[in-house]
Each structure stands twice: as C-alpha cells, then as structure tokens.
Copies of this chain bind each other. A is one copy, B any other.
C-alpha cells in the first residue's frame, strides 16, 4: 500500500470536487493530484532522493497537505514539526532527523536565524508574500510530474513524527506508508467519512490527531478546509461558509466552541460527526456541546502517534449512555488491544492495567533509537504507557496516562476522574488535577481551576462539590483558582508538566 494511492483514488472518483479550500483558494482533486505530482517532480529536481528527510514548520494550509503527499510520493520522509517548539528544540529535531530541506510559512521565518540549521541546505517558502532571501517559493518548485511504475510504499518510512519525550529528548516516531494507509482505511469508516464529506483542519496539522484525516478524507475523496490555527469564531464562520460536515477537535477546543457566546449566529447545520480525543472530555463539556449542537454526533476516539494514531473508537451507530459516555470505544477494526499487567500478561476485564496494541498501524519504531524501540514494542505489542481497563463488551476506558496517575497513600487516583467531577461545578471553565509532593501521603491531589468570566469559584466550593461525586481520598486537598487560561501544548493538551514543575522542583519525579 502507498500513501498517494488515496490521492489517485480521489482524483479518479471526484476529479471536479474541491480537494482543498484555503480561504478563497480552491482546487479540485484533479488539480491537486496534478500539483502534487509536479511538486514531487520539482523536489527530485532539487536533489531530494528516496529516504531523505524534509521537515515542515507551518500553520495549517492547503500547501501543508500538498507537502504531505509530494514528499512520500518520491520515497522521501516528511517531518512535521510541532509549531509550539522553542528554536533550540527545533534545532535538535532538524539535526537528529538529518533534515536536508525545511519548509516554512510566514509564521516561522524567524526560525533559521535562531535554530541550529547545520544540516539544512534548502529552504522552501510556503507563504503568499514576497519570497524571503535565500528561500524558494513553493509555486516555483512545481516541475515536471513525477511518475514511476514502482511507487514508494509498504514498509518504507513516510514520515517521522516527533513526540514530547518523557526523558527530556523528543522521540521520532517512524510511520510507514502501510501504517498511515491502514490507519486511514479504518479511521475513515469509523468516523463516518464518505465521498461527500467536508472536513475542516482546525486542530494543528503537525499532530496525528488532525493529520490522520489528511489521508482518511483524501482516501474517500472528500474535501479539506483549512484554518491556519484554532479560533472558535473563525472555525464557526468557515463551517458555515463551506458547509463542513466533520472536524476532529480536542476537548479543550470542544469546550471553547460549545461555550462560544455567539455560536447561535452561525449556521452549522451541515455538521455530522465530530470525533474527539487526545485527552479526557469532562462530562460537563460533553453535555454542553450536545446541548448547543444537538444534531452532531460526538464520537470518542483514542490513539497515539505510535499508532498512526487510531487505537479505539466508539461505534458510529451506538450512542453511548451511562458509564459508556466516558469510554473511548472499542478496538478499531484492524487493531488488537489488550490490557496487561507489568509482566505483559492480559488482566481480567474490569481490571486496570496498561493499554497495549498490535496492528498494521503500529509504528516501525523510534528514529535512531533501537533500544527505546525494542522496549516500546517488546513481545510484538506497543506499550502505550496509558492506564486503562476494558469492560465485558470490549469498551475501553482510559483512566490516565500512567505518568498522570496520582498515588496518594497507596491509592491510585486518576486525575481525569477528578477533573470530570470538578467540571460539573457551576462557574468552572477549565480544570486540571495533578499530584503534588506530600511527606505523609507521597502525593496529594491538587486542582487548578479557571472560573468562567464573571463567575466566582472558591476552593471550598470545589472541594465540597467533589465530595458529592467521588470518594473522599480522590478529592483535592488543595485548590488554586487562577484567572488565566491553563497552559496548552501545541496539540491543545493541558501542559501538566508546567503545572507540576513548581511543586516538584529539586525532586526527581513527576516533573517530566
């Protein structure tokens, strides 16, 4: 299997349907396929060969999509960079991956002056302005169409996706053509993507949560809409303008949209399915979202970069109720999921253990890290590091990242459960729960709460409300009320490492 097969299919079945809508710029699938082939040809003309790494540091756009197909088309490897990284981190990844060519848009033109660019010999400009000195404009790369009788594919690496490393070093997840295609083949049906779908890229494209839909929507011949970065008003406006049917959002984004005061002014009746994942969705947020968007099916999915990323999903035709509202669904079509103990033995249903995966979507390994690869894939299963349990009918519940689990007085406390309880208190806009050091208990539960504009929430209210919903030992012992948003990662996840840092300074755990 090879990535550009989906592109060819889209051009075959929907040649005249819009492939990309980037503000006022629209291109059909016939145009898009032709441009990608010409871009791949142009990259070859610039000396890019199979196996070479080409990095991209850019906000969401149609050109980002073109790069994601053109680079793997010729057998080279795309390296999408996290847009929130510091220059030193970018320099590390460019050097670690041995990137030869870097694609930049207007938001990142300052990077070459600040980051170590020793290995990079070619800079391409993805923007619409005047081409900066020393760079080549994307439109000028277009050359003679790339053709081959033996397309790159199968076990060839198509992309390297750097994830935040728990040991301080970012790890490059190698995903092959087969990984990404098999993910797209099961993710499209799981999320209800079809040949008339219109998907908007609102979450950052460098992250697999959104990037996977580049391939899944293309494979079904749907339409891609782009906004450069997430903004509730911009998102709602583009949904109304382009009749968007699907968008993957992380819970913080669902929260922002559902609580956007003027949501009622936009016609979002075209929306059909919103897959959400990447972090737990508090009950109150899901309830609010369902209230303001009653015609939308919110679909819990779960995955990780190492799985390209889909691991589990709710069945599209089964509306979850009761405790299953908190389930992230059942194993995706081609994926074996098991919950195992520390010795990699499967545990009985209902018992918490580590979520482990096996399937054609599981990564080839970490770039240049044979030991980390062997550890992560030992016994043929990917060890996610996530704590979870599976019920009698195969529904999976993620109780926490193992590293986000709080151990207080010997009890395991899952921050997601505590966050979900606190989120239902009136006036709470955002909440994050972490473990902080305690002489007696090892750790105690600490909550950081951001009230809604104009609302007053006190620590006493938070603790009292928690006591009505969860066991006493799970309730926060301390609460900070803050009036600034919680720190978010590039992928929109709350940066708990930043919240924990002041408490754990000088200690050797929990900070990373």
Q: Which of A326-334, A413-421, A426-434, A496-504 contacts B (4 or more CB under 8 A)?
A: A326-334
Chain A 357-394 interface residues, beta-carbon cutoff 8 Å to B: 359-360, 379-380, 390, 392-394
Q: How far is the CB of A307 from chain B (nearest CB, A)?
A: 15
Contact with B along A390-423 (1 / 0, CB 8 A): 1011100000000000000000000000000000
Check B15–A150 contact: CB distance below 8 A: no
Partner of A393, one of B13, B317, B335: B13
A316 / chain B contacts, CB cutoff of 8 Å: 194
- Contact A333-B219, Cβ < 8 Å, known A392-B15, A394-B13: yes
A220 / chain B contacts, CB cutoff of 8 Å: 333
Check B15–A185 contact: CB distance below 8 A: no
Check B379–A9 contact: CB distance below 8 A: no
A186 / chain B contacts, CB cutoff of 8 Å: 185
Check A15–B393 contact: CB distance below 8 A: yes
Contact with B along A173-195 (1 / 0, CB 8 A): 00000000110011011000011
Q: How far is the CB of A152 from chain B (nearest CB, A)?
A: 13
- Contact A1-B360, Cβ < 8 Å, known A318-B195, A380-B149: yes
Q: How far is the CB of A480 from chain B (nearest CB, A)?
A: 41
Chain A 282-325 interface residues, beta-carbon cutoff 8 Å to B: 315-318
A315 / chain B contacts, CB cutoff of 8 Å: 194-195
Q: Interface size on A (CB < 8 Å)?
A: 41
Q: Would you call A336 an interface residue if the criterion is a C-beta within 8 Å of the partner chain's C-beta atoms?
A: yes
Partner of A379, one of B149, B185, B189, B394: B149
Q: How far is the CB of A101 from chain B (nearest CB, A)?
A: 29
Check B333–A9 contact: CB distance below 8 A: yes
Contact with B along A124-135 (1 / 0, CB 8 A): 000000000000
Given contacts A14-B394, A219-B333, A220-B333, 20 further A-B contacts (CB under 8 A): A1-B334, A1-B359, A5-B334, A5-B336, A9-B333, A12-B331, A12-B394, A13-B330, A13-B331, A13-B394, A15-B392, A15-B393, A16-B392, A149-B379, A181-B334, A185-B186, A185-B333, A188-B189, A195-B317, A195-B318
Q: Pick 7 A–B contacts, CB within 8 A, sort by A.
A: A1-B182, A1-B359, A5-B334, A8-B336, A188-B189, A195-B315, A195-B330
Taking Cβ atoms with an 8 Å cutoff, the residues of A that contact B are: 1, 5, 8-9, 12-16, 149-150, 181-182, 185-186, 188-189, 194-196, 219-220, 315-318, 330-331, 333-337, 359-360, 379-380, 390, 392-394
